Amino acid sequence: MPRIVVDVMPKPEILDPQGKAIVGALPRLGFTSFSSVRQGKRFELTVDGEVTDAILAQAREAAETLLSNPVIEDVVNVEVVEA
């Protein structure tokens, strides 16, 4: 069954405290090549049947209203992934 993948990231201007903690931990494991980490969220919405334009539009609306908070986050990607 197809899925609609929604990716949400903290806005660039907002310091991401979780990403900051992760970038601090990486060098302790010997991963020294990464100067910054930002942590986002990936949602997978499963659709029973075909993904129509209307269903994709619903997913975009859900992404903007519930899955993300536009004050602190951006929806950076909405795409259909066939199973």
Using the minimum distance from each CB to other proteins, give the nearer residue, 52 or 65. Answer: 65
72 is an interface residue for other proteins by CB under 8 A: yes
Q: Which residue from 51, 37, 60 is spatially nearest to 81, judged by alpha carbons?
A: 51
Question: If you search the block for the tokens 């269903």, which residue do you land on?
Answer: 55
42 is an interface residue for other proteins by CB under 8 A: no
> What b-and-e string marks burial along 69-82, b requiring 16 or more CB atoms within 10 Å of the CB?
eeeebbbeebeeee
Q: Which of 12, 15, 42, 46 binds other proteins (CB under 8 A)?
A: 15
Binding site for other proteins (CB under 8 A): 10, 13-15, 17-18, 21, 66-67, 69, 71-72
